[in-house]
């Protein structure tokens, strides 16, 4: 098992000029990132859609890496996007998935068949040419540069320590420092896109 924050720390030195969609790791990534205008810490606009969003971004910006930190719950909700991604073979798309084996934001209830789903095998079966799985920080550290040097789409399943939230949503401390609208505006400006 790896801590979410540690995953992002291992990735951070390899980021380069990639666009990063930090997904469930947003609260940590905004403290680690040195290029916030290339980050999309959107929180959770609607669960299950992060991979589709990041894939759309990768299609739109084919000359720039797009790195997503997805979750097992999101992938389960939107598993049908995997063949779509594989069909288009975006060479710039890196799909990391944080697998905590539970619905972490609703109290930690297990996801379907928790702990027994081989997400890397599902990704490979959907047509991702490269898929990996790691359950400890040492091997992830050793392999991170190689993962990001492979042509995409690459899928990386990561067993992570659950961070279970039990408080009602209204009592949770917000971590975002920019509105979603501002995040998107900053990205478009950084990419030289109109308004």
Partner 1 sequence: MTQEHKNLLSPEVVLQQMKKNGVTHVVWLPDSETNWLYLLMKADPDITLVSVSREGMAFSVAAGLHAGGKSPLILIQNTGLLESGDSLRGWALGLNLPVILLVGYRGWTRHGVTPDTAAVYTERFLHAFGINYFLVENDADSPRMTMAFEEARKTKRPVAVLVGDEFHGFNR
Of 9, 88, 124, 159, the one binding partner 1 by CB under 8 A:
88
- Cα 25 to Cα 42, 62, 174, distances in angstroms: 10, 24, 13
Task: Compute how many residues bind partner 1; rule: CB under 8 A.
Answer: 33
Q: Kindly state whether residue 45 participates in binding partner 1, applying the rule CB under 8 A.
A: yes
Q: Measure the CA–CA gap between 6 and 28, rounded to whole angstroms.
A: 9
Question: Quick one: 146 or 189, whose CB is closer to partner 1?
Answer: 189
Q: How many CB atoms lie within 10 A of CB 46?
A: 10
Question: Quick one: 113 or 179, whose CB is closer to partner 1?
Answer: 179
Q: Measure the CA–CA gap between 1 and 125, rounded to whole angstroms.
A: 24
* Cβ contact 19:64 at 8 Å: yes
Query: Which of these, 128, 109, 108, lies nearest to 118 by C-alpha position?
Result: 128
Q: Kindly state whether residue 29 participates in binding partner 1, applying the rule CB under 8 A.
A: no
Q: Residues 165 to 184: which contact partner 1 by CB under 8 A?
A: 180-181, 184
Q: Measure the CA–CA gap between 114 and 99, rounded to whole angstroms.
A: 9
The interface mask with partner 1, positions 116-155, x = CB under 8 A, is ----------------------------------------
Question: Quick one: 81 or 158, whose CB is closer to partner 1?
Answer: 81
Of 32, 36, 61, 127, the one binding partner 1 by CB under 8 A:
61
* Cα diameter, the chain: 46
Chain contacts with partner 1 (rule: CB under 8 A): 40, 42, 44-50, 52-61, 78, 80-81, 83-84, 87-88, 180-181, 184, 187-188, 191, 193
């Amino acid at each position: 098992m790896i801590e979410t924050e540690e995953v992002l720390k291992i990735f951070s030195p390899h980021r380069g000029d990639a666009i990063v969609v930090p997904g469930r790791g947003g609260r940590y990534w905004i403290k680690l990132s040195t290029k916030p205008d290339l980050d999309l810490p959107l929180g959770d606009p609607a669960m299950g859609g992060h991979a589709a969003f990041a894939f759309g971004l990768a299609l739109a910006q084919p000359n720039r890496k797009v790195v997503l930190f997805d979750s097992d719950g999101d992938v389960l909700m939107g598993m049908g996007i995997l063949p779509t991604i594989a069909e288009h073979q975006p060479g710039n798309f890196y799909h990391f998935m944080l697998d905590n084996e539970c619905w972490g934001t609703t109290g930690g209830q297990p996801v379907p068949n928790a702990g027994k789903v081989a997400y890397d095998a599902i990704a490979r079966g959907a047509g991702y040419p490269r898929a990996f799985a790691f359950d400890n920080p040492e091997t992830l550290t050793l392999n991170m540069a190689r993962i990001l040097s492979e042509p995409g789409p690459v899928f990386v399943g990561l067993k992570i320590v659950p961070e279970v939230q039990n408080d009602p949503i209204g009592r949770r401390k917000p971590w975002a420092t920019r509105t979603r609208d501002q995040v998107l505006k900053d990205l478009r400006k950084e990419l030289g896109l109109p308004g």
